[in-house]
Amino acid sequence: MIRKSFLFGTAAIALLAGAPLATTFFGAAPGAVAQAQTAPVPIAPATSPTAVPQDAAEIKLSFAPLVKTSAPAVVNVYAARKLVARSPFEGDPFFEQFFGQRFRQQPRIESSLGSGVVVDASGLIVTNNHVIKDADEVKVALSDGREFTSRILMKDERADLAVLKIDGDEPFPALKLADSDEVDIGDLVLAIGNPFGIGQTVTNGIVSALARTHIGVNDFGYFIQTDAAINPGNSGGALIDMRGELLGVNTAIYSRSGGSNGIGFAIPSNMVRVFVEAARNGGRFERPFIGATFAPVTSDIAEAVGLERPAGSLVESLYPGGPAEKAGVEPGDVVMSIDGFAIGNPDTLGYRLATAGIGKSVQLEVNRNGASKTLTLSLAAPPEVPAREAKHIGGETPFSGATVANLSPRLADELDMTQTLKGVVVTEVEPRSFAARFGLQAKDIVVSVNGRAVDTTAALDKLAADGRRGWVFEIERDGKRLTQRVR
């Protein structure tokens, strides 16, 4: 089973990637696709206020009409990839001369199963990145039994989202995106997906919590929690509200056994909306560049800045000339809210900035020395300044086999690094090269070589061509300085 777990004590947060791997592609049993359902009809928006059942008649009410109109937009996603097992004799001149290709192994196909949601009648589907990761081919099956091939328009591991496009011209049943900021704890929800590959299944529950962070699933750490039963294979499926609108994309569960324990997590629809819009525009998903680094507010910090309790996001440093500095943000400020939404920690801040969108302006409420200030912050795309000027280092040096580039906010965003970092970064290391042998890794920042500071790829290339025998170089990895000596 393609599953990815993040351990917390004796339990785990599991990404619900799908059914067990198989050696044949799309060999699901007929029961894996739900029976045909009636064509969707519009649902009248709710006109009465939210209320709990008041009598026996109301308790007998059914979700069936809601399911009939919503389920056709939830699809099964089949992803397949070729795996080529390398023979230990492959590439050996002696064995290839005498035995030819008989040791060459035949590729095998691995397939996995997940769920997806049609969010546009043209055939745009949103699912989880981990459902289609490394896939060579992706097919989708609708609830009425029709199957289509699809293309991956955009995917992002940090957001754990992907957008597919069905290869078909006809209009498809689609779900409207809800405003996930309007949901309340206790609201009724339905989860629709394909758990364990048995076919489309519907479960119901309530919203158990909002703004769940530190789940360890994606880069933004902001989830809707529900007790609606979610199991492996539900990944990418729909969490819908009582209007039949998409409230979130089911992504992970907190589980001791691998099955549902009533603690599931969904990526909010407002994050999905921004991601799908980026796919529609043919771009890539980028985090807004604001030019600042942040830290959680501890109880000691809260007391020092005059807060009643730990809350907000502490500004640690600013990127010179960045949007935050231009807006008047200062180190030591605590960001308390964005456009009226409370900020509990840096994860919440990152989510609010991402869902606001590049090109927009937001109102920041900051606490500065106990006083509240409101600042206008413009959200920009990460700039590629300086130019990356990538270079592949050759020769016989500790850097041979490494590709390096000048670090900019845009390149840092692509590498999932802090956007304010500067210097020369390793972007790739060839296996079995000198660079790999001496421990260089992608995302390492080369700080100095033989006592000389490295600030550009041209400077590193020149130092690497020195031809000396002894080397001392310093790198920065995950915020730590490491020194390597090579004789």
For Cα atoms 206, 210, 214, give the angle at the middle one, nearest 5 degrees. 125
Helices (H), 256-320: 269-280, 299-305
* 227 is a catalytic site residue: no
CA quadruple 16, 274, 47, 341: dihedral sign: positive
- Measure the CA–CA gap between 415 and 410, rounded to whole angstroms: 9
Residues 6+ apart with CB under 8 A from 363: 338, 339, 340, 374, 375, 376, 377
Catalytic, 413? Answer: no
Phi, psi (rounded to 5 degrees) for 14: -115, 130
C-alpha to C-alpha distance for 128 and 267, rounded to whole angstroms: 9
Amino acid occupying residue 185: I
Residue in 160, 347, 444, 461 annotated catalytic: 160
User: For residue 190, what is the DSSP state?
Assistant: E
Rg of the chain taking only CA atoms, in angstroms: 26
- In degrees, rounded to 5, the angle at the alpha carbon of residue 438 between the alpha carbons of residues 432 and 442 is 75
Per annotation, catalytic residue among 112, 130, 227, 313: 130
- Beta-strand ranges (E) seen in 197-245 are 201-212, 223-226, 238-240
Compute the residue count for the chain. Answer: 487
List the structure tokens of 100: 């030819």
How many Å apart are CA 12 and CA 267, to the nearest integer?
18
Residue 26 and residue 119: Cα distance in Å, rounded?
A: 24
The residue among 232, 250, 144, 245 whose CA lies nearest residue 192 is: 250
User: What are the residues whose beta carbons fall under 8 Å from the beta carbon of 314, sequence distance 6 or more?
Assistant: 294, 295, 296, 297, 301, 332, 333, 334
- Residue in 112, 235, 269, 313 annotated catalytic: 235
Residue 163: partners with Cβ closer than 8 Å, 6 or more residues away:
124, 125, 126, 152, 153, 154, 155, 275, 276, 279
Give the DSSP letter string of 321-369: T-HHHHHT--TT-EEEEETTEE--SHHHHHHHHHHH-TT-EEEEEEEET
Distance in angstroms (rounded) separating the CA atoms of residues 446 and 10: 39
180 is catalytic: no
Residues known to be catalytic? 130, 160, 235
